[in-house]
Amino acid sequence: MAIRNSQQEAGRGTGSVVVRLHPSTRAQAEQDAANDAAQPAASGYVWPKPVQALLAGDTGRIQLNGVAGSGKTTLLEQIVIARLQQGVPASSITVIAGSKQQAAAMKQRLHAAVPDHYVGGDHLVRSVHSLAFAIVRAAAAKAGRPLPRLMTGAEHDDALRQLLQGQLAEGGQLWPENLRPALAVTSFARGLRDLLLRAAERGMSAPQLAELGRVHHRPLWEAAAATWEEFHGVLTLADKHLMSAAELTSSAVAALRADADLLTDVAAQAEILLVDDVHNIDPASATLLRLLAAHAHTVVFAGDPQQAVFRFRGGSAELLRSDPAFTTVQLGEPQRQPAHTQTVIVPDAMTHASVIAHELRTAHYEQGVPFSEMAVIVRSTAETAALRRRLAALEIPLQQDATDITIAHQPLTAALLLVMESLTKPLTFHAIETLALGPLARGDAVSWRRLQRALVAPAHLHHCSPRQLLLTLVAGDTVASDHSTGGTPPAEAATRGPDLFSAAAPQSATGTSELPLALSAASIDAIIESFTSSEQLIVQRLRRIMQAGHNAYQRGESVEAILWEIWAAADVANSLAEHALRGGSRGARAHQDLDAVMTLFDMAGDFSEHRTGAGLQSFVEWISGQDLPIAGRVRQSAVDAVHLVNAHATVGRQWDTVIVAQVQEGTWPSYGITGTLFAQEELVDLLDFGVPPAQYIARSAERIKEERRLFHLACTRATRSLIVTAIDAPESDPVYEVSRFIDEADARRITQQDLPGLRTVSPPTLVAELRRTLCDETAPDTLRQAAACQLHRLHKAGVAGSDPTTWWGQASIDDPTHAAAVVQGQLALAHATGMPLNQLPTGLVQQATTSMPPAAPDYLTTRLSPSLVETAVTNPLAARLRGIEDDDADLYHLRKGNFVHAVAEIAAVQPLTDDDIVTLSELFTTSVNPPAWRIAAERADIQGQLYALRRALASLDAVTAAAAPEVHCNVTLHPHTVASQLAALAPPEDLAQAANSPAVVAPQATAITITGRIDRLIRTDADEYIIIDFKTGQAVTYEQASRHLQLATYQLALVNGQVQATDLAGTAQPQWAITSAKRVQPQQIDVAKLVFLTAGKDNPVAREQARLDPAQLGAINDTVTVIAYEQAANYALCTDAGNAGHFEQVFTDLAQQRSTTHVQ
C-alpha cells in the first residue's frame, strides 16, 4: 500500500481541481472525495479550534467532514499520538478504519511515529468487523458456547449455491415456478446472498423477512427467508458456528445489549473512539458504534456524506447525520492536489494501452518514479483482465490486489488443485495435458507435440493407445499402489471418488480403456529414456509431482501436508523467488503467483483446522466452488510494480502517478442497478426510510450521482500527476463512447498521426529506434551519424542488440555504404601482417575446418578434464549427463570454439595475414552452412574473432621466452591423497556400496587423472609459466576469473606434473606436454589467464587468476576429489545446495584456514 506520512506529503502542489469535468458534473464533483492518509500542509497549517482542543487533551464529540486529502485520517493519527504522549493507556483507545488493509497501514504509521520505548496493544486500530468479532467471541466464551468463526464472502456464496442446487434437485418447491430453473445459476445465488446480507445488516431475522414478504406481496422475500432459515439449520446440524460479516455486527449489538458487564468491559477499551470512513459504514455497524460512543468521553466520526460509494454493499452515511450531541467541524482545502493533470482520448483499445504504457514508462525512466508509486484505476474488476494482458505484453510490471484474484482461477494454484483432484478421481488425458503445459511441468506446445509423437512407437509395442501409455508413465506406480492396497485412507473413505482401476475408469471416445498399464518400473524408465531431454523433463516432472502427492495421500496426511509435498516436488519456488527478486513484469507475475500459493496454504491450514475429518476431495471441491476473490492474510511485501485496481479498491490509498483508464459511457457511469430480481433496493428503502415497495422510485439520478462520486474518488488518488484516458471509437465493435464525466473540450486527442511520437521508453525499443534511423538511407547524415554514436555507446555498455553484426537480414557487410554506416568507428579491425595461407600445411587447414568436439570423458571413470570440473560445480546435472545428453542446441558454438582453437594452433606455426583470416572465415561459414540471411553476419563474427586472436597472440609473444600451443596434460594425483580425502568426504557404508557395485571402480583404489589441453603455455624469461585459455564466449568479471575452477585445475595439474618438451618433426616449434614424471614447485607458475576473443574490441579482453598458494591448491585438490568421487561412485555430493556455496567460497575459506571438505 502506497501511503506516505505527513513529512513526505508536506508542501505538495496547490493546483486546482485534478480534472476538467463537464460543467454539469463539476459542481457535484467538487464536493466529492474519498478518505485516505492525506496529509495537511506541514508548516503554517492550523487545525480548527475544536480539533486543537482534542489534540491538547480535552474531551468532546466531533463530526469531522472533509474532502479527499484534507487530512481526516492524519488528524485521527495525531490524536492517538498526542493521547499516548499524554500518558493515556492504549487499552482505552479504539480506532476504527475502513478495512483491515487500511487498519494495517495506519497501525504501521503509528508504530513508526510513537517513541521506541512505547509498548501498546495489538488492537489499537482495527476494522469494525474485527471489533464485532471480538465482542461476539467474548460473549460466547463468557457463556461457555463454542467460539464462532467468520465466514468469508466466497464461503457464503458457495454454501448458498450448494443449498440451492439441493433445493433444485428436490423440485425447488420453495420458489416460484418460473424461477426454479434459475436456482442453478451463479448470479441467482449471489443476488440471494446480497438480499440476505442487507437484511442481516439491519438486524432482521428469517421470520421477520418472511413476514415482510407476506405483507408486501413479495414471494421472493418469503422464499429467501425460508432458504435463510434452512441455511442456518444446515450449519447447526453440521456443528459449524459460522457467521457472515453482516450477522456479526448485529450479533455484537445484541450481545452488548443483553450483557451490561460485557458492555462495560468493551466500553472501557473505547473511552476514546475514533472512526474513519463513517460514510461507508452499514446500519448494523453504525448501531454498534453509536452504542459504544454513548459510553466514550471522546468521539470523532470522520467522513463526508458526499463520498459514499458503497451503497451496493449496504453502506450509509447515517453516522454523519446531524446530531445535537456532536460538534460539526469542516476541514479546509485538500492538501493533496497534483500539479500535472491531463485528459487523453485515443482512437482504439490498442492505442489506449500504448498510451498508458508510455506514460508509466516516462514517469519511471525520466522522472524516477518507482513503479510501485503508480496506479492504473478502472471502473470494475471485469475491465482489468483485457487491460492486464495488453500492458503485460508491453512489459509493464503489474500487481493486482489479492481481493481481485480468485484462487481457483489463478494458473499456478489451479494446477496445484488439479494435481490434488487427480489423487482422488480418475486421472484423465486432458488433466495431464493441462498440467504438462502449465506452470508445474513447464512444457511448451512444441515439446508436448513431440512427446505425443514419441509415444506412438512404444505404445504400438505394448499394444495400447498413446494416451494409455502416457497415463502409465505419469501415474502408473501410484495407481498400481491404489489397486493393490485399496488405496483409500480412512479419513478419505467417505469422500473419495472411484478408484482409477475401478469399473468407472475413463474410456476413450472409441470405447477403448485408458487405464494405465501394468508395466514394471524398469520398463517405464526405459520408455522415458527413449525420449529426448525436453520430452523427458515433462514426463519426469509430472511423475515426480504425482508420486509425491500420492505418497502423502496414502500416508493419510492432512490437506496442508499433501499440498506441501506437491509444492515441494514441483520445485518451482526457487525460480519464482528469483524472478520476484529481479523485478520487472516477470517478477511482478512471480510475486502474484507466490502470494496466491501462500493464500492457498492459508486456506488449506484453515480447512484442516475447522473441518476435522474432511478429506482432500472435499477441500478441492470447496476451493473450486468459491468463485469470488478471497483476501488472504495481510503480508508486507514490497513489489516494484504498477497497481492495477478497481475504483472501489482505492479508498484510503494514494499514489504519485495515477491513470484513471477507459472512462467510457455505459461503463462509467454504469447504469446497472443491484438486486433488481430480489428487489434489494426496495427492501433497503423500506427498512431505512419506510418507503413501501409498491411505491415507484426513480433511481437513475441517484445512481449517476454515486457513479460521479466514485469517479471523483478515483481522480483524487494522485499526489503529483493524474491522467484520465478514454476511447472514442463510435464505429468500432464494440462501440466506445467518451463518458459524460469528461470535458472533451480540454482533452488531448491522440490520432494515428500521433502514434509514432508515443515512444516506448525501454532499452530494446531505444536500440530499435537507433537501428531504424541508422539504416534509413533517406535520413539526414547527421542524424544517422548521431544514431551510430549512440549505438556505439550502448555497445560499449553491453546493451543487447546494439552490435550491428547481430542485425540479421541487413545488406551485405561487404557493401561499402553499409560498412560505412554500420561498422565504421565501432568494429574497425587492426592491421596485421603474416605469412600467406598457401604456405600453411594443408592438413592443419583441413583439421581447422572439419574438427569436431572431442568425445566427453566417460562419466563413470576418474579421468577429469578441467572443463568438467568447472561444469560439475556450476551445473552438476549437466556434468552428470555429459556425453549422453542431446547437444544439438550447442553444436554450432562448439564448432566455432573448436575452429578458433585450431586456428590458434596454426597461428603458432605461421602468423595469420588478412588474406588468411578472410579465407578461413569463408571456410568456416561454408562448413556450418547457415541460412542465406545469416551468412554475412556469421562471416563477420568469425572474422572479428580471428582478428582478435591475432592481436592476442601478438601481445603474448611480446613477453615470451618460449611458448607452445595445445599443450597436452595427463597428470595423476597421488593415490594416497585421494583415499584420505574420500575418507573424510563420505560415510564408510556409502564407499562400500560404491565399491561393491559392478558398474564402478572402488574409489579408494582409484587415482584421479587430470586430462586436457592448455591452449597456450608460455615460459617467461624468469623461468615462470603462464597458462593461457582462449574463450570465444562472453567475458567474465575479474572476481569470477579469480575463482575460475578450470584455470585453477590447470594450475593444480602443472604443480603436480612436469613440462616435457619434444621436437616436432618438420618444424622449429617445440611440442610440450605435462606429465606426472616430476612435480614443479608452485612458485614457478606466474599467472593463469582467460583471453576472450571478442569481435570488435580494440584489444582482447583478458582476465587473470593469480598464482595459487599451497592452501588454495589443497582446496582445489579437495574439490577435484569430490567431483571424481561423484563421477565414479555415482554419489551426488556437489548437487547439495550447501556445497554450491562451499565451492564458491573455496579460496576465501582457505585464506582463513577453514576446512572446505565438509559435506553436509
CB atoms within 10 A of CB 921: 21
d(CA 639, CA 398): 9
Residue 429 and residue 446: Cα distance in Å, rounded?
17
Cα torsion 537, 543, 545, 551: sign: negative
Burial readout 51-69 (b: 16 or more C-beta within 10 A, e: otherwise): beebeeeeeebbbbbbbbb
66 assigned ligand-binding residue: yes
Using alpha carbons, list the distances in angstroms from residue 677 to 194, 336, 386, 683.
Answer: 11, 42, 29, 12
What is the DSSP code string of 1003-1047?
Answer: GGG---EEEEEEEEEEE-TTS-EEEEEEE-SPPPPHHHHHT-HHH
CB atoms within 10 A of CB 855: 7
Task: Name every residue whose Cβ is closer than 8 Å to that of residue 929 and which is 6 or more positions away in sequence.
Answer: none
The answer to the question of whether 69 is labelled as a binding residue is yes
Cβ(294)–Cβ(320) below 8 Å: no
Report the candidate in 420, 470, 813, 791 with the shortest Cα–Cα distance to residue 622: 420
Distance from C-alpha of 537 to C-alpha of 532, rounded to nearest angstrom: 9
Annotated binding residue at 73?
yes
For 550, the enclosing helix (H) or strand (E) is: helix 533-554
The answer to whether the CB of 198 falls within 8 A of the CB of 284 is no
C-alpha 299, offset from chain centre: 44
| 809 annotated ligand-binding residue | no
Report the b/e string of 725-762 with b at 16+ CB within 10 A. Answer: bbbbbeeeeeebebbbbbbeeebeebeeeeeeeeebeb
List Cβ neighbours of 1013 (8 Å cut-off, separation of 6 or more). 966, 967, 968, 969
Q: Distance between CA 591 and CA 596 in Å, rounded?
A: 9
The counts of H helices and E strands in the chain are 44, 23
Contact between residue 131 and residue 146 where contact means Cβ atoms under 8 Å apart: no
- Residue 474 backbone phi and psi in degrees, to 5: -80, -40
Q: In a 10 Å sphere around its CB, with 0-12 CB exposed, 13-18 middle and 19+ buried, how is residue 469 labelled? A: buried
What three-state secondary structure class fits 343? strand
| Total residues found in the chain within this entry | 1160
Helix spans in 775-839 (H): 781-796, 816-818
1087 in a labelled binding site: no
For residue 307, give Cα distances in angstroms to 2, 646, 671, 745.
21, 16, 19, 27
> Is 68 annotated for ligand binding?
yes
Where does residue 430 rank: exposed (0-12), middle (13-18), buried (19+ CB within 10 A)? exposed
Distance CA 870, CA 717 (A): 54
Cell numbers found for residue 700: 437513475
Residue 72, marked binder: yes
Cα angle 421, 443, 763 (rounded to 5 degrees) comes to 125
Q: Which residues pair with 447 in a beta bridge?
A: none
Cα 599 to chain centroid distance, Å, stands at 14
Q: Is 590 annotated as a binding residue?
A: no
Place of cell 568479471: 1037
The neighbour count for residue 439, using CB atoms within 10 Å, is 17
Annotated binding site for ATP: 66-73
Annotated binding site: 66-73
